[in-house]
């Protein structure tokens, strides 16, 4: 934030914290699912059976880097993959059911990734799903199936396109370049209006590929487009990646004010401290492999996150008022990676017992605990324990002046009441007093477990 506020003409259009029903719903999701599905699912990070991964390579970027084993004309090969797209196992209802069982309350689907291929039958480009052997509108199938399961749908949309002759990364300078890029902008606007018209259940847009100079310099256009989208589709949710101000500042304008309804910068990373978030709404999008969003045939040799890792990240997010969105990259036939099936099942089993600590909760306002993460809903305090104390005493630090302290406690897993003891151990360092929740000795936990406490006035 600058020491003094400056005048920004193309700053935020919506207030920092929208309080309408849609936005409150967004804040209450807790867990979401991302799906990266497009032509890149066919090679699955391999050209001719040899894995092309390595370094920064993410499978959905295969067109842009080819890799050591790529065919000579791999870009052309890639651009023709649509002729093979015929996902015989694709069943949107099955995906939606799996997401529901996992506990996801919203999902984000890649309608168009950087390759520019539209997963819906757009009128504005021939490079789209209707030209594949599959022909059918997968976006519609997905929107309908997830909506029917009660899962809110957001549409991912990459602005930048690798193979669109009207797109350019650099700032258009000559009249010809300007004319071409204007065509691209009009096309982008048309596609966005088309998407929101075709799929009226859509709750929001998740933008990507908005970092190039050409888009950055189009700040007047993007400002007006955001206004138009909000006017024509009231209540729509748009994240901070969509646009920048006239000084080129992305996500936050030159005064540090958020551009959009929630912060969209948390990709494969998490904030270490709640204060970093500056009170903004946010979500974190996370891959299972280190950095692969599209289907990767071969996970061997890569660290792939376990359900424990992901549940830890989920609780990290919700304890700081964010959502965790876990990415899935189905294969070219429409099947999830078997590893993702396992994760969805394990997370779902955990959520069945513990989702009370995840849904509709807020930051608890307590100092972070070494044992796990606090979340809060009304007068209930939840502690999701990842590090079980060897003496079975879960010690909760509460500010000495607090008017609310833990009165009762139970485990979500069996609802058995646990003893709560006030243990003022005389540590004055942090102005805290302590409440001990005593765990039963015979309690075995294979995964993180949740203690639910009722808060009330101290004695």
Rounded-to-integer distance, Cα 356 and Cα 383, Å: 11
What residues pair up with 283 in beta bridges, in sequence order?
323
Q: How far is the CB of 217 from ligand FHN (least distance, A)?
A: 20
- Give me the least distance between CB of 267 and ligand FHN, in Å please: 5
| Contact indicator for 156, 110 with CB cutoff of 8 Å | yes
Distances (CA, A) of 35 to 39, 63, 148, 189, 191: 13, 19, 17, 23, 20
Q: Measured in Å, how far apart are the chain's first and last C-alpha atoms?
A: 44
Ramachandran angles phi, psi of 335, nearest 5°: -100, 145
Binding ligand FHN by CB under 6 A: which of 46, 161, 208, 226?
208
How far apart are the C-alpha atoms of 42 and 331, rounded to whole Å?
Answer: 7
For 306, the token pair is 């376990």
Q: Which stretch binds ligand FHN (CB under 6 A): 57-65, 356-364, 409-417, 418-426?
A: 57-65
Closest distance to ligand FHN from the beta carbon of 61 (Å) = 6
Tokens 């050591």 -> residue: 68
Element (H, E) at 186: helix 175-198
Of 27 and 36, nearer to ligand FHN (C-beta) is 36
* Binding region for ligand FHN (CB under 6 A) out of 56-64, 161-169, 385-393, 405-413: 56-64
């101290």: which residue's tokens? 458
CB of 23 or CB of 35, closer to ligand FHN: 35
Identify which of residues 152 and 283 has a Cβ nearer to ligand FHN in the complex: 283
Pick out residues in 252-281 that bind ligand FHN (CB under 6 A): 267
Which residue, 280 or 369, has its beta carbon nearer to ligand FHN? 280
Closest residue to ligand FHN, based on beta-carbon distance? 293
Quick one: 157 or 181, whose CB is closer to ligand FHN?
157
Least distance to ligand FHN, CB of residue 280, Å: 18
Among residues 264 and 355, whose Cβ is nearest to ligand FHN? 264
Specify the stretch interacting with ligand FHN by CB under 6 A; choose among 53-61, 79-87, 189-197, 416-424: 53-61
* H helix and E strand count, the chain: 10, 17
- Could you identify the residue written with the tokens 């709560």? 420
Identify which of residues 58 and 218 has a Cβ nearer to ligand FHN in the complex.
58
Q: How far is the CB of 211 from ligand FHN (least distance, A)?
A: 8
Instruction: Report, in Å, the least distance between residue 291 CB and ligand FHN.
Output: 8
**DSSP states of 368-399:** PPSSEEEEEETTEEEEEESS--TTSEEEEEEE
CB 16 within 8 A of CB 280: yes
For ligand FHN, which is the closer residue by CB, 60 or 137?
60
**Identified binder of ligand FHN from the candidate list 29, 184, 293, 435, rule CB under 6 A:** 293
Q: Is 60 a residue that touches ligand FHN (CB under 6 A)? A: yes
Contact 339, 394 (CB under 8 A): no
Task: Give yes or no for residue 161 binding ligand FHN (CB under 6 A).
Answer: no
Instruction: Work out how close the CB of 264 gets to ligand FHN at its nearest, in angstroms, rounded to a whole number.
Output: 8
Sequence length of the chain is: 459
Min. distance of Cβ 292 from ligand FHN in angstroms?
A: 9
And the tokens for 136?
């059918």
Q: Which of 151, 155, 285, 411 binds ligand FHN (CB under 6 A)?
A: 285
Judged by CB under 6 A, which of 39, 42, 52, 58 binds ligand FHN? 58
CA distance 98 to 108: 15
User: Per-residue x/- mask for ligand FHN, residues 218 to 257, rule CB under 6 A?
Assistant: ----------------------------------------
Concatenating the DSSP letter of every residue in 119-173 gives SS--TT-SSBGGGSSS-S-HHHHHHHHHHHTT-EEEEEEE---TT-TT--SSPP-
Of the candidates 192, 130, 158, the one whose C-alpha atom is nearest the C-alpha of residue 167 is: 158
Report the SS3 class of residue 194.
helix
* Count of chain residues binding ligand FHN (CB under 6 A): 7
Measure CA 226 to chain center.
21
Residues linked to residue 244 through DSSP beta bridges, in sequence order: 250
Helix (H) or strand (E) holding 108: strand 106-112
Non-local (6+) Cβ contacts of 72 within 8 A are none
Binding site for ligand FHN (CB under 6 A): 58, 60-61, 208, 267, 285, 293
């Amino acid at each position: 934030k600058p020491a003094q506020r400056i005048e920004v003409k193309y700053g935020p259009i919506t207030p920092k914290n929208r309080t309408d029903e849609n936005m409150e719903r967004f804040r209450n999701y807790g867990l979401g699912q991302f799906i990266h599905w497009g032509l890149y699912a066919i090679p699955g990070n391999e050209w001719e059976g040899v894995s092309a991964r390595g370094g920064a390579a993410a499978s959905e970027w295969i067109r842009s880097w080819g890799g050591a084993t790529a065919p000579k004309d791999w870009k052309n090969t890639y651009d023709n993959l649509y002729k093979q797209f015929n996902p015989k196992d694709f069943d949107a209802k099955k995906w939606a059911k799996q997401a529901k069982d996992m506990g996801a309350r919203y999902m984000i689907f890649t309608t168009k990734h950087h390759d520019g291929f539209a997963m819906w039958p757009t009128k504005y480009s021939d490079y789209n799903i209707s030209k594949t052997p599959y022909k059918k509108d997968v976006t519609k199938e997905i929107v309908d199936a997830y909506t029917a399961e009660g899962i809110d749908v957001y549409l991912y949309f990459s602005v930048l396109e690798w193979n669109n002759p009207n797109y350019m990364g650099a700032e258009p300078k000559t009249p010809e370049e300007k004319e071409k890029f204007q065509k691209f902008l009009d096309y982008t606007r048309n596609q966005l209006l088309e998407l929101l018209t075709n799929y009226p259940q859509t709750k929001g847009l998740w933008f990507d590929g908005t970092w190039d100079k050409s888009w950055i310099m189009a700040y007047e256009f993007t400002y007006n487009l955001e206004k138009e989208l909000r006017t024509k589709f009231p209540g729509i949710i748009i994240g901070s990646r969509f646009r920048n101000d006239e000084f080129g500042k992305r996500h936050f304008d030159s005064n540090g004010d958020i551009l959009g309804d929630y912060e969209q910068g948390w990709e494969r990373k998490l904030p270490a401290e709640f204060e970093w978030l500056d009170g903004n709404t946010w979500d974190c999008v996370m891959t299972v492999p280190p950095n692969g969003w599209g289907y990767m045939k071969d996970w061997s040799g890569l660290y792939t996150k376990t359900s424990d890792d992901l549940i830890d990240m989920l609780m990290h997010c919700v304890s700081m008022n964010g959502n965790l969105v876990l990415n899935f990259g189905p294969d070219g036939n429409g099947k999830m990676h078997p590893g993702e099936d396992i994760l969805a099942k394990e997370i779902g089993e955990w959520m069945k017992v513990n989702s009370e600590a995840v849904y509709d909760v807020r930051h608890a306002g307590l100092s972070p605990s070494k044992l796990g993460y606090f979340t809060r809903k009304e007068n209930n305090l939840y502690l999701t324990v990842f590090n079980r104390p060897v003496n079975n005493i879960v010690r909760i630090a509460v500010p000495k002046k607090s008017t609310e302290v833990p009165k009762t406690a139970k485990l979500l897993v069996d609802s058995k009441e646990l003893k709560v003891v006030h243990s003022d151990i005389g540590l004055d360092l942090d102005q805290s007093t302590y409440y001990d929740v005593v765990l039963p000795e015979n309690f075995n936990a294979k995964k993180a477990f949740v203690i639910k406490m009722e808060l009330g006035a101290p004695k």
